[in-house]
A and B are shown apart, each in its own frame.
Chain A
Amino acid sequence: MFDLTQEKIKEFATVANEIRQTIIEALVEAGSGHTAGPLGMADIFTALFFHILKQDPKNPAWPERDRLVLSNGHICPVLYATMAHAGYLSVDEYKKTLRKFGSKFQGHPHREFLPALETSSGPLGSGLSQAVGMALADRIDNGKSSSRFIYCLMSDGELDAGNSWEGAMLAGKEKLQNLIAIIDRNNIQIDGFTENIMPLEPLRAKWEAWNWHVLEIDGHNFEEIVGAVNQAKAIFEKPSVIIAHTIPGKGVAEFERKYEWHGKPPKKEEAEMALKELRTLGGKIKSEHE
């Protein structure tokens, strides 16, 4: 049922691993920024930019492209790294200039500096509504048979913000079948675990109550990611939300599941450890050069 071969999946795993390395390298050079979210979302970004999105990295303004809104702008290290690996931008420039003066790669995404972005973001809770606006505009222009999809990537923590739910309500009312939201359900936010800070459960029921089609997946399983998006595309009378269960800090054991890694970068020695772990696939291969 999935249009993914085992070979493709292996290829994605390799790309995601490279993206994670690029994220670590950029963060340590930047000296500030977020670590856990970007590492946790590397698999979903890989699936989107290397398989799912209708796009042209050589022509970012291609009018027919799908749209991708990153609502939780603070995980932009993974957006930048993935766009760079996908051919939109220079990987090297990204690694050297993230969060630096005059850089395309601002601390939170700013499309004046990086026009290939669909929007600027940072203040939480506003991305879904922008994606809703894009989906509404697409419907006005192309009707319900439009083959374009609008993707919105959101964090679980930002669902504390009321603006998110205002957008969810409108999307449900308008039955925006061309809208697919993906929630990074990693259970952490700055002050701690989401269910301690502001409980979101029952999360599925909340979205269902606003008339969304809800899918839940393992956000590190490429077959499930692609399968869920395919299923979402087949739902005609509702917007879809994919609750992607992810492990914050995924790929580096020391960073995994710890909310302390939400908003800080690795130090030099931590980065070296992380890169070694990623390059040896967590000890599965002996040397970085194997």
Chain B
Amino acid sequence: MLNQQAKLNPKIFDADVEMVPIRNGYGEGLVIAALADRQVVALCADLTESTRTEGFAKKYPERFIEIGVAEQNLATVGSGMAAMGKIPFITSYAMFSPGRNWEQIRTTICYNNRPVKIAGSHAGISVGPDGGTHQAIEDIAISRVIPNMVVISPCDAIEAKKVTIEAAQNGKPTYIRLVREKTPIMTTEETPFEIGKSQVFWDGEGAEIGIIATGALLHKALVSAKELNEEGIKVKVMNLATIKPLDEEGIAEFAKSVKGIVTVEEHQIRGGMGSAVAECLAKHEPKRIEFIGVDDKFGQSGKPDELIEHYGMGVGHIKEAVRKIL
């Protein structure tokens, strides 16, 4: 059943659950972070409206820098501003930032340990019709491998808002992964959130399998848990928003009492959140793991749900992975 402590949206399983793009939460959080700290600045690479940086740009034009289609410049100018004490949020699509500008992020932001916040919108395969060139499904891998970097993939717009507000003050280079499509609201303003802490959202007593999900697919993991419960299979579900630093203690504790783990992410299986969980469990609590994600393929055009199903990340796939371990 849903963990009562997490104070989740009571409509989470309803057909009319609120649907909001995760990037909207970023946009709202950015304005709140800017109000709280005048050092917050935002830079954008010609995607101000679609990355939801628009609200900030209108409210704080003197703190907003339009970079144009130049993501390498986006990262390096951000680094320079951070060197002068600013807290820059640099925004583009995840494919281009941290995709195209990876080396600039590594050297000028992370190697220098500058508190630049990299907001990568339109991440995942659910960007849909734009096709494979615009579907960032390698971004968790390439960002979590860089020393000093914090990597966060919020599950809904409300969590994205909390992530943005907290990231502004964490003093570290931070990648925030955002999604374009409307996705279900699972959390509430009251749901506790802390960077670096995992949370159990579905707590099945005597659970045999643990599901660990990140990002919007968490909703499919929760639906899977509910359906499996009705079928007599007990599982529990963790929301793993912070992929780095990884909550190793929480994950090991979560895995202790179960037969195996299923990881769920809208990302390549290789190098993503599931890999991070596997690295952790191999060390602390070895378990069989099934990985739900994109299996070494590029995406293509299609409707978001159509693509999620085609590439093996639907509710059916999650339930099948659970049964495989049982």
Contacts and interface: CB of A to CB of B under 8 A. Distances in A.
Counting chain B residues whose Cβ lies within 8 A of the other chain, the interface size class is 20 to 34
Given A120-B107, A130-B108, A167 B76 contact: yes
Contacts of B83: 67, 118-119, 130, 133-134, 137
A57 interface: no
Contacts of A28: none
A136 B112 CA distance: 19
A96 interface: no
A153 to B, nearest CB: 14
For chain A, what secondary structure do more than half of its interface residues adopt (helix, strand, loop), or is it mixed?
A: helix
A134 B80 contact: yes
Nearest to A174: B65
Contacts of B81: 133-134, 136-137
Contacts, number: 98
Given A123-B103, A140-B62, A169-B70, A129 B111 contact: no
Contact of B77 (A67, A120, A132): A132
Contact of B84 (A121, A138, A163): A138
A122 interface: yes
Nearest to A132: B77
Counting chain A residues whose Cβ lies within 8 A of the other chain, the interface size class is 20 to 34
A13 interface: no
A17 interface: no
Given A119-B112, A137-B85, A137-B86, A126 B72 contact: yes
Contacts of A119: 79-80, 83, 108, 112
Contact of A163 (B41, B78, B80, B104): B104
A144 to B, nearest CB: 12
Given A134-B80, A137-B80, A126 B86 contact: no
Nearest to B76: A129
A269 interface: no
A163 B80 CA distance: 14
B50 interface: no
Contacts of B107: 120-123, 126
A130 B80 contact: yes
A131 interface: yes
Contacts of B103: 123
Nearest to B110: A120
B79 to A, nearest CB: 5
For chain B, what secondary structure do more than half of its interface residues adopt (helix, strand, loop), or is it mixed?
A: helix
B67 interface: yes
A105 B179 CA distance: 43
Greatest chain B CB density within 10 A among A121, A135, A141, A166 is at: A166
B322 to A, nearest CB: 45
A134 B112 contact: no
A131 to B, nearest CB: 6
Nearest to B77: A133
A126 B78 contact: no
Contacts of B111: 110, 112, 120
Given A126-B107, A163-B104, A133 B72 contact: no
A163 B76 CA distance: 9
Contact of A129 (B41, B62, B80, B86): B80
A130 B84 contact: no
A269 to B, nearest CB: 36
Given A119-B108, A120-B112, A129 B72 contact: yes
Nearest to B70: A166
A111 interface: yes
B112 A167 contact: no
A162 interface: yes
B129 interface: no
Contact of A140 (B63, B72, B79, B112): B63
B73 interface: yes
A111 B112 CA distance: 7
Interface string B56-76: 000000110101101011001
Contacts of A138: 84
B76 A133 contact: yes
Contacts of A125: 72
B275 interface: no
A137 B84 contact: yes
B113 interface: yes
A86 interface: no
Contacts of A132: 73, 76-77, 80
Nearest to A123: B107
A52 interface: no
Nearest to A118: B83
A91 interface: no
16 contacts: A110-B111, A119-B80, A121-B107, A122-B107, A129-B72, A129-B73, A129-B77, A133-B77, A133-B79, A134-B80, A134-B81, A137-B84, A137-B85, A138-B84, A170-B68, A170-B70
Given A119-B108, A121-B107, A167-B73, 20 more contacts: A67-B83, A67-B84, A119-B80, A120-B108, A123-B104, A129-B77, A130-B76, A130-B79, A130-B83, A130-B108, A132-B77, A133-B78, A134-B83, A136-B77, A136-B81, A140-B41, A140-B62, A141-B84, A166-B73, A174-B65
